[in-house]
């Protein structure tokens, strides 16, 4: 008898299991690809939070980006929400684990993150 893995090879949908993950070939309910990718991203970090100001691709509008935060996705979103409130502005969290805060708030964010115990570097110009 063929294993479930062999049966699901090449499938994208199964009437028995529903959607199939293209990465691990498991049913979406049992898929752990996003958890594993998140864990690998956190393990690859060096423990230093880098804060930089970027304008590229934003029609001259500046944003402050924070990268290197060793937090899971849900914790990262909660921290982003707190930091956006602290700065009084909007922002977002990218899929790569980078927090973007609208405007130039490098010094304020550096002070806030150091107060929370992170090692912070101002990167770029």
User: Tokens 């590229």 identify what position?
Assistant: 56
Domains of the chain: 4-31 (no CATH), 44-122 (3.30.780.10)
Sign (positive/negative) of CA torsion 96, 78, 115, 118? negative
Q: How much is the pTM?
A: 0.74
Closest CA to 99 of 52, 65, 62: 65
In whole angstroms, what is the distance from residue 114 CA to residue 51 CA?
12
- pLDDT band per the 50, 70, 90 thresholds, residue 1: very low
E strand map for the chain: 13-14, 18-19, 48-54, 63-67, 91-93, 99-102, 119-122
Sign (positive/negative) of CA torsion 11, 24, 69, 76? positive
Closest CA to 84 of 58, 71, 102: 102
- Mean pLDDT, to the nearest integer, of 98-107? 94
Q: What digits encode the pLDDT tens for the residues 6-34?
A: 554 566 666 677 788 888 878 888 888 88
């Amino acid at each position: 008898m063929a294993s479930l893995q062999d049966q699901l090879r090449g499938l994208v949908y199964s009437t028995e299991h529903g959607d199939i993950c293209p990465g691990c070939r498991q049913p979406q309910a049992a898929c752990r690809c996003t958890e594993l990718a998140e864990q690998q991203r956190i393990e690859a970090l060096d423990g230093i939070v880098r804060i930089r100001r970027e304008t590229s691709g934003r029609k001259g509008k500046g944003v402050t980006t924070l990268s290197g935060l060793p937090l899971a996705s849900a914790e990262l979103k909660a921290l982003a929400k707190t930091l956006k409130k602290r700065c009084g502005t909007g922002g977002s969290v990218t899929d790569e684990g980078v927090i973007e805060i609208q405007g130039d708030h490098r010094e304020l964010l550096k002070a806030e993150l150091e107060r929370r115990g992170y090692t912070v570097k101002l990167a770029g110009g």
